[in-house]
Each structure stands twice: as structure tokens, then as C-alpha cells.
């Protein structure tokens, strides 16, 4: 690759749909609590009080509605030595992790991502852990293949490190 940026594909619509479903189910839960509470309490004043109590959790749920657009703002790249993740619409964040310092790779798949479907490809999130930090590679298409590729690159970098070459020279 000669330190060129290899773009890694991410999934957008399935993850946005999943985020939308998550928010709708939370709001539906609040609505059911409201209806049940209104039925149990019976009076109009109790219903208004219950509405006032549930308004704040509803606003808290809606505050996180930006996660519906989040998959459209993520760009992920791999070079020979680094993993780079750029995210954000208004505030752009760039995370970079040197593969040489990589300690652990964790694969996370949501329930929708685990379902086999002709409508979307397998997707998931890779959490890369290194000394003193981590980089999250979210919503990757075929994350298992990318995990294997990164592990191979890590092994290749570690085999070609100066410490390994010195150890071979002393033998």
C-alpha cells in the first residue's frame, strides 16, 4: 500500500434504520407508561402530572436523535502503519491509531447486523485498543474481514520491528 489511504466501506442506511427503530421503541415505551399510568390514576390532573413527569425522559431520548445521521458522517481508512477514523458533521473528529501499538481488537455487532438479509451486508463495529487509548471503527461492512486484515498487518509490523531484527541478529 506504500502508506496510501485505503478507504474502508461503512454501512449507512441499515444502521440509520436501526437507530431510528431504537428511538421509536424508547418513545413507544414512554407512551405505554403514560397510557397505563393514566388508566391506573384515572383523573385528568393525574394524567397531566404523569405527562409532565414523562416529558423530560422523552426530550432526553430525542436529544440523541443525531445518531440517525451519524453513519453518513464516518470515513475510515487504513494505511500500512495506521488506522484513521474521521467522523462528525459540524464538529469533525479524527482518530488515528498506529498498528504497531495495537493490543486488542473487539468486534461488536448489533441485533440487526447479525440477521442474515439480502437487503444489507454484514456490518459491525471494531474497537481497537492500544496503550493508553482506543479507536472505534463504527458500522464497517464485513468487519470480520477487516479484523483479519488488521491482525495480519499488526503481525507483519511486529515481525519487521527493529527489536525483532536485533533478536534475530543475536541468534
15-36 pLDDT, tens digit per residue, is 899 999 999 999 999 999 988 8
Per the model's pLDDT, the better-predicted residue between 35 and 159 turns out to be: 35
Helix (H, G, I), strand (E, B) or coil at 12: coil
3-state SS assignment for residue 102: strand
How far is the first Cα of the chain from the last one, in angstroms, to the nearest whole number?
Answer: 31
Q: pLDDT tens, 85-139?
A: 999 988 899 999 999 999 999 999 988 888 777 766 789 999 999 988 999 999 9
**Statement: the pTM of the whole predicted model exceeds 0.75:** yes
Residue 78 has pLDDT above 60, yes or no: yes
Query: What CATH number has the domain spanning 6-11+69-164?
Result: 2.30.29
Amino acid at each position: 500500500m506504500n502508506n496510501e489511504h485505503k478507504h474502508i466501506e461503512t454501512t449507512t442506511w441499515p444502521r440509520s434504520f436501526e437507530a431510528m427503530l431504537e428511538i421509536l421503541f424508547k418513545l413507544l415505551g414512554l407512551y405505554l407508561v403514560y397510557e397505563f399510568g393514566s388508566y391506573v390514576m384515572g383523573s385528568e390532573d393525574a394524567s397531566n402530572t404523569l405527562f409532565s413527569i414523562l416529558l423530560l425522559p422523552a426530550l432526553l431520548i430525542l436529544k440523541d436523535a443525531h445518531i440517525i445521521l451519524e453513519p453518513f458522517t464516518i470515513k475510515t481508512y487504513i494505511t500500512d502503519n495506521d488506522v484513521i477514523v474521521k467522523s462528525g458533521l459540524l464538529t469533525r473528529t479524527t482518530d488515528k491509531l498506529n498498528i504497531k501499538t495495537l493490543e486488542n481488537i473487539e468486534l461488536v455487532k448489533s441485533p440487526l447486523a447479525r440477521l442474515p438479509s439480502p437487503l444489507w451486508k454484514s456490518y459491525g463495529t471494531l474497537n481497537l485498543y492500544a496503550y493508553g487509548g482506543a479507536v472505534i471503527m463504527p458500522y464497517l461492512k464485513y468487519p470480520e474481514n477487516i479484523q483479519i486484515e488488521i491482525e495480519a498487518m499488526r503481525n507483519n509490523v511486529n515481525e519487521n520491528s527493529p527489536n525483532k531484527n536485533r533478536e534475530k541478529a543475536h541468534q
